[in-house]
Structures are given as C-alpha cells and as structure tokens.
Structure 1
C-alpha cells in the first residue's frame, strides 16, 4: 500500500513553508512529483524532499524554473533567500570541510567529495548506497572471474593490491579504460574484451580500499568511475544486463565521490540507453533526466548526449511530440558543441554519433507511430558515412538499422544491398546488440517473400546470427 503523505506544517520553518507551497501548487496543476521533476529537470526525489522540508539547498535557478512551470508569478524566486539562504549553505560546506580535515588523512573512506549529498546523506528512494567495492564485486560476479594471461598487460596477474595509492595507479586505470573502450568500439563487448574488462574492474575497484593521499582521492574515484563506464558498456553489449546496471551505478557513485558532473552524466546516459534497449523506456527517461540535473555544469555535447537518450526513450514509447521535441533540443545543444570544452573521453560524440543516436529515436517513430522514415534515413546515412574504422560497431549498427528502415518502409531491393554491406561488417563483431538488429532486419525481410534479394538477405542473416 502507498505510504500516506507527510502532513506539512508551513509555520514550522521557512523550508517547510516553501515545501507546503510547492506541494499545494503542484497538486493544483494536477502534476505528480515525477511529472513536475521532468518539467524542471530534477528527480522526483528532489521534488518530494523539498516539499517535506528535507532538501538542504534548493538552487535559486530551480526555484525560478518552478515559478515558470507552475505560473506562480515569482513566489518561489522571492522566497528562496528566506528558505535557502546561500550564507547557510556556505557555512555548511565550511563545516563539512573541517570535519573532513579532522579525519585520518590518507584513507579514501570519506564522503566530502559527493556532489549530490551531504557528508552523510540520508537514504532516499532511488538513491545508491555509499561506494563499497566489496559488495559491488559480490553483486556483479566479478570476483569469480578467473585470471587470463592477457590481463597481465593491465593489472598484476595475481590481482595483488598496493598498500597505498600513487599517481601511477591512477594513470594505469585511465590507460586501461582507454584501451578497453577502443577494443569495445572496434570489436564489440564480448569475448576477450569482456574478460579483460572484468579483470581490470575487479582490480581497480579493489584500489578503493587502499590508503590514498587526500590530494589524489578525487582523481582515483574519477578514474574508477571512467573504467566502470567502459566495463558497464562491455557488459551491456554482451547482454549481461544485471552486471551492466550494477557497474554503471557503481560508476555513478564513484563519480559523485569524485565530484565529477561529467562522469555522472555519462553513467546516466548509459543507464538510460540500456533501459531503453531492454524494453524499459520509462526507466530510461528517468535516468536521462537525472543525468540532466544541473545541466549548467555540463558541456553542450554532454547535454546533446542526454537529450538524445530522452528522445530514444520517447521514441520507444511512441510519443511523437515529446520525441521530436527532445531531438530538437539535442540538435540545438549539439550545434553549440565546443570539443575543446569536452572531457577527452567525449570525443566519440561527433556528428556521426549524434546523427546515429537521434536516428534511432526517429526510427522508432517511423516503425511504431507511422512517421516519415526519411528523417531517420538521412541521419543514418550521415552516421554510416562519418564513422571511422575505430567505431565499426556503431557504423555496422547504423547501417543495419538503415537497411531495416528501408526494408520496412521503402525499397526492399535497395535495403538488401545495404543489408549485405552491414553483414560484411557485423560478422566480425562480438556484439549481441548488433546481432539483434540483424534479426530485426531479417524479420522485415521475411515480409517480402517474392523479392529474391530480400529472401537471400534473410537466409544470410539466419546463417550469420546462428553461427
């Protein structure tokens, strides 16, 4: 049974008055906390905690967005200094810094770096537990992975952990993440790539229990977060979905420990894409919108990436209006991209990637909602043309989806030609996602039993994906 709402007392404190007004006006507009959160780009937990007077520091720009959405005439903007005096926030941060300095120096088991919580945040629905690499290893199954020779290039063969962390350990994690990401994009996430990724993740997560100088703490958590994103992507591509979700959430926690908004955004982008892929678009939308919290801290490219995730979720839901709006927002953000401002690992999100990702959303509208297939087709063409050999999986998937779109909505003979080109490339990948896209293409081809080219393509697909 749902829990009864907490009774609010607007006379108890300025924060509770603010929360009482927010709940009253939200309900007057017949909006759920989740719906309002989507409109102002925060999670439903934030809305509910503000209403309960529990949220420590509602940002001024959020107050203004609430005014705009609820049509208050500026009530929350005017009340913000009274309810959330920035001088109190500064005092709280200073007190937290003093507490952190008083702890034993050298240990990483402190939480001063978290960007979305206080020093010891209360547990909230939908939030993650504090970073605990032992429970992560147990939940993900990585602790049971057997040693393999190739991992000697990335971590000690015995997985021996150092007693203390140095800059060289952090550099090693970063180099491994870059190497695995390159392999994953080129070959897919299965086979050797997955084995190496698991071993590297096990060793790197173990470093969080070692002694670490305070000045290296944020860099260590950021490096482990980056590797977690790469390893989660490999598991996602191999359809180890539970492990992928666990690893992505672990990476998100590490990003928050590091105070890194960019890595946090990337983890939520992957969580959103995975949720959409496994048939949970509503969860995908929630993840994407959590990633957009404090979008002012993100680069334009990162905002485009997350808006694209929203578009893909709306596309799977068959929501034409919101999908097209999200594609438009993604395009607007990408038009403002400045690669020099992006983290190095965002270099993959170029014109080809943006067109391929938005085309996936438009593909679903064409198939599920009868929309114009030309919009998706033109973007898939751009993606196929723009992806280099370093991104063979993305190129192969875009080519496969283009063939499927044409097979379903256009010329099946031309679709077969493109489909054979896709098969030439996909056959060398270890990607379960790529294989599933081929099966979809085969299903569309089966609807043209009198077109010899379509029949031949379907037979080849059947032989390829069953091999």
Structure 2
C-alpha cells in the first residue's frame, strides 16, 4: 500500500511554494511522481524533492513540466519568480562596484543613482492568488520577479465590490501622475515603489465584478497604467519589473481591442530590447506594433517608425535607419493632435526630433554618417522640451554633447555638457546616468584640455551624489 504524501508548506519558502505548485498541477493531471519523472527525463525522487522545496528546479525542466502537465506556462513563470530572482541577485552582487572614484568637485545638483530602486516591499499574496495571477496573465515568459511581493503594502487598499466609473477615473489619475513624475524627475526612488503598488492594485481590479459595458474601458485603463509603470521601471533599470508591466499592458490592450494602446506597449518593448543590446528583438516588437497601421493615427505611426529606426541604428544598418527615419518623418508630417488620444500628446515635435536623433546618433559615431543632421535634431529636442520633460531634455543635451565631443568642437561640447548636467543632476534616472558616463568617456579623449577634465570630474561627482 503506497505511503501518503507528505503535507507541504507553501508559505515556508519560495522554493516550497514552487514545489506546492508543481504538486497541485501534477495531481490535477492525475499523475504520480513515479509516472511524471520519466515523462520529463528525471527520476521520481527529483520530482519529490522539488515538491518538498529541497531541489533547485532547472528552467528547462520547468518548461518540460508545463508541457506535460498542460499548465499554460505557469511553472516556467513561477520559476522566474522563485529561482530567477535568486540568479539576478547573485549577478547583481557579482557586478557590484568594488569602490568609489575620488572626486573633489562640489555639485549642488545630484540625486541620481542611489542604490537599487526596485526594493521589494514585505508581504505576499496567498498561493492561490499567485496561481490565479499567473494563469490570468498567460504570459509566455514572465521575468524573474514576483509581482505580488513587489507591491503588497502592509494594509492593501480594499477592493470595491463592483467596478464603477469612479475606479476608472482613479486609474487614469494615477497613470497621469506617474507619467508626469517620471518625465520630470526620473523613474527611481519612491516613484518606482508607488508605481508597483498601483500596478498590483490595478491587476486585482481585473478580478472584481465589472459591468460588461465597462470591461473594455477597465482593460484599457489597466493597459495604460501598465505602460507608465513599465516606463518608470525601465528608467530605473528595474528591467524585469518593466517587462512584466509591459506584457500585462499588451495583453490588456489586446483584450480591450485598443490598437493605439497596443502599439504603445510594443513601442516600449522595442525601446527596452534595443536599449538592452538586442536590437533584433527591438525591431520585431516595433514591427508587431505596426500591424494594421491603418488603424493607428499618424503620430502613433511616427512613434513606431522611430522605434524601428532606433533598432536599425543600434545594428549600424545605415539604409534601414535612414529609411525608418524617413518613414517616421513622413508620418509625423501628417500628425494631427486632435486625432490622438490624450496620452499621446507628449509626442510633439521635440519628442520626434529627439527619438529620431537617437537613431541617427549611432550612425554618426560608428558609421561616419553626417553628424550635422543628428546634431540639428538633438538641438531641436533640447530647445523644444519644457521643464515638464526635463529628463528628455537632459538626455538629448547629453547625447548632443557626446556627439560634438567626438565629431566637432570639444569646447562647444563641454559647454553643452555643463548645461545638460543642470537637468540630469536633478534626476533619479539610470538611463540618464549611463549617457553621462558615455560623455565622460568621450571627454577623456581630450586629455590636454583642462576644461574637459573639469567636466569629467563634475560628471563623476554628480553620479556619486
């Protein structure tokens, strides 16, 4: 007579929670550990040890288990939450800086680059809630992050019993606030934590009873919130959090049938992939966002072609970049703000010039393409951005200074670099910080210039502040 299986404690540790999930799906399929093991090319003892939290499941094994147990990808996503997060922490520890650079420059601006801005809040949802979340999102590959743990405050807000227009208005107000704060100050610090909590609450709203006529609006509002939350995490280099938010946004937009929001999510997925060194994936995302471009406004088309141009630029594909920039310019020439949703109003002439200039930057630096055209676009972006878009203005100014430092008059570049620091030094933006590091590196090539040395020292002091 077979012995009864040991009762599991899914709250004991992340590994034990993962094991409990495996047992849940195994039993749902009517399989014993002895039968399941050979089906995924491991011993029954390995299955038992994983279920008890005593064995570290491999990613490929989790994927095999998903396929055999027909979970819809739940275990692979759970693997990312449990084991992927541990891998990420080890990688972060291995890459931590071993010391600080000496600097004696007094910098009155400088709040950027603290420690890890994606610190998780204590607490977690019950296992059944996590399972429901994993099953609901049906994402192909969730990043190694437990979204539930990210945003569970000590006393989470009480959910309504039924969705009303009031909840939709609140989602809109929160998304507007995060968007403004992100563009003005950057995505780091407290904003990232607030954004995460807001996203978790929005996800929970999807489980609340909702009148049929309000369901598409609810999905669209969650999608829009996911976009701004993802953008905030992207700027703070919390890339796993950003990817999850963008994926949720894309699914909600798809279900809502909102082609405009769908394109916006793919625009950000494209930009993130390109930024992380995978322009081929970035180009794929951009092309996906342009599906049925006839349903997109000219402004949104221009945004998507700019994303394509950025990907081609990182590939150093001259013809592809120039063609994509041309397509973006042509679409933007037909832009009519009255046709655009309110959340697209940020994409004005300054934004368009900045986005396309970023695409051309790599060609000017690496492929000896005309730097004047790139500089002109960056200059228009710097001039056109208001204080509400201080981050975009600061980043464009930094890139302009880098371009001129390499291809033009270094003294002019130094002047522009100091002005860029006035904006960038006030931000909590790791993207802006990386651009400053690039400028510092380019300035280092002018070692005979005392002014270049001073700019480098000021950049170093700003990054450390």
> One fold, TM greater than 0.5?
yes
- Of 341, 349, 357, the match for 2:347: 349
Asked if 1:142 corresponds to 2:140, the answer is no
- Compared with structure 1, are the counterparts of its residues 237 and 303 closer, same or farther at alpha carbon in structure 2 (3 Å cutoff)? same
Unpaired stretches in structure 2, ≥5 consecutive residues: 1-133
Asked if 1:132 corresponds to 2:130, the answer is no
Per-residue CA shift, 1:369-407, capped at 9, x if unaligned?
A: 111111110000000000000000000000000000001
| SS of residue matched to 2:206 | helix
Verify the 8 A CA contact 2:178 2:228 in the aligned structure 1. Answer: yes
- Of 361, 364, 367, the match for 1:366: 364
Q: How does 1:124-273 map to 2 (within 5 A)?
A: 131-132=136-137, 140-145=145-150, 158-273=156-271
Verify the 8 A CA contact 2:139 2:247 in the aligned structure 1. Answer: no
Which position in structure 2 is the counterpart of 1:463? Answer: 461
| SS of residue matched to 2:192 | helix
- Compared with structure 1, are the counterparts of its residues 368 and 136 closer, same or farther at alpha carbon in structure 2 (3 Å cutoff)? closer
Distance in 1 (alpha carbons) for counterparts of 2:270 and 2:196: 22
Asked if 1:331 corresponds to 2:336, the answer is no
Which position in structure 1 is the counterpart of 2:89? Answer: none
Which position in structure 2 is the counterpart of 1:433? Answer: 431
Which position in structure 2 is the counterpart of 1:448? Answer: 446
Give the Å deviation of 1:142.
Answer: 3.0
- Compared with structure 1, are the counterparts of its residues 148 and 137 closer, same or farther at alpha carbon in structure 2 (3 Å cutoff)? farther
- Compared with structure 1, are the counterparts of its residues 219 and 139 closer, same or farther at alpha carbon in structure 2 (3 Å cutoff)? farther
Which position in structure 2 is the counterpart of 1:26? Answer: none
| SS of residue matched to 1:209 | coil
| SS of residue matched to 2:210 | coil
Distance in 2 (alpha carbons) for counterparts of 1:187 and 1:287: 27
Distance in 2 (alpha carbons) for counterparts of 1:212 and 1:325: 45
Distance in 1 (alpha carbons) for counterparts of 2:311 and 2:358: 10
Distance in 2 (alpha carbons) for counterparts of 1:187 and 1:314: 29
- Compared with structure 1, are the counterparts of its residues 158 and 138 closer, same or farther at alpha carbon in structure 2 (3 Å cutoff)? farther
Verify the 8 A CA contact 1:131 1:254 in the aligned structure 2. Answer: no
Which position in structure 2 is the counterpart of 1:99? Answer: none
Which position in structure 2 is the counterpart of 1:83? Answer: none
Verify the 8 A CA contact 2:254 2:262 in the aligned structure 1. Answer: yes
Verify the 8 A CA contact 1:137 1:143 in the aligned structure 2. Answer: no
Distance in 2 (alpha carbons) for counterparts of 1:137 and 1:169: 27
Per-residue CA shift, 1:96-154, capped at 9, x if unaligned?
A: xxxxxxxxxxxxxxxxxxxxxxxxxxxxxxxxx974399999964332236679xxxxx
Verify the 8 A CA contact 2:414 2:452 in the aligned structure 1. Answer: yes
Distance in 2 (alpha carbons) for counterparts of 1:387 and 1:191: 23
- Of 298, 318, 321, the match for 1:320: 318
Give the Å deviation of 1:167.
Answer: 1.0
Unpaired stretches in structure 1, ≥5 consecutive residues: 1-128, 150-156
- Of 412, 417, 422, the match for 1:414: 412
Cα RMSD (Å) = 1.9
Verify the 8 A CA contact 1:189 1:430 in the aligned structure 2. Answer: yes
- Compared with structure 1, are the counterparts of its residues 138 and 166 closer, same or farther at alpha carbon in structure 2 (3 Å cutoff)? farther
Verify the 8 A CA contact 2:152 2:200 in the aligned structure 1. Answer: no
Verify the 8 A CA contact 1:187 1:430 in the aligned structure 2. Answer: yes
Verify the 8 A CA contact 1:170 1:220 in the aligned structure 2. Answer: yes
Distance in 2 (alpha carbons) for counterparts of 1:208 and 1:464: 42
Distance in 1 (alpha carbons) for counterparts of 2:151 and 2:336: 43
- Compared with structure 1, are the counterparts of its residues 402 and 256 closer, same or farther at alpha carbon in structure 2 (3 Å cutoff)? same
Distance in 1 (alpha carbons) for counterparts of 2:264 and 2:249: 9
- Compared with structure 1, are the counterparts of its residues 315 and 165 closer, same or farther at alpha carbon in structure 2 (3 Å cutoff)? same
- Compared with structure 1, are the counterparts of its residues 323 and 136 closer, same or farther at alpha carbon in structure 2 (3 Å cutoff)? closer
Distance in 2 (alpha carbons) for counterparts of 1:421 and 1:244: 30
Per-residue CA shift, 1:324-380, capped at 9, x if unaligned?
A: 000000000000001000010000000000000000011111112111111110000
Verify the 8 A CA contact 1:228 1:247 in the aligned structure 2. Answer: yes
Distance in 2 (alpha carbons) for counterparts of 1:317 and 1:136: 25
- Compared with structure 1, are the counterparts of its residues 354 and 138 closer, same or farther at alpha carbon in structure 2 (3 Å cutoff)? closer
Give the Å deviation of 1:242.
Answer: 1.5
Total equivalences in the alignment: 332
- Compared with structure 1, are the counterparts of its residues 414 and 148 closer, same or farther at alpha carbon in structure 2 (3 Å cutoff)? farther
Give the Å deviation of 1:243.
Answer: 1.5
Verify the 8 A CA contact 2:312 2:318 in the aligned structure 1. Answer: yes
Verify the 8 A CA contact 1:237 1:433 in the aligned structure 2. Answer: yes
Verify the 8 A CA contact 1:140 1:247 in the aligned structure 2. Answer: no
- Compared with structure 1, are the counterparts of its residues 441 and 138 closer, same or farther at alpha carbon in structure 2 (3 Å cutoff)? closer
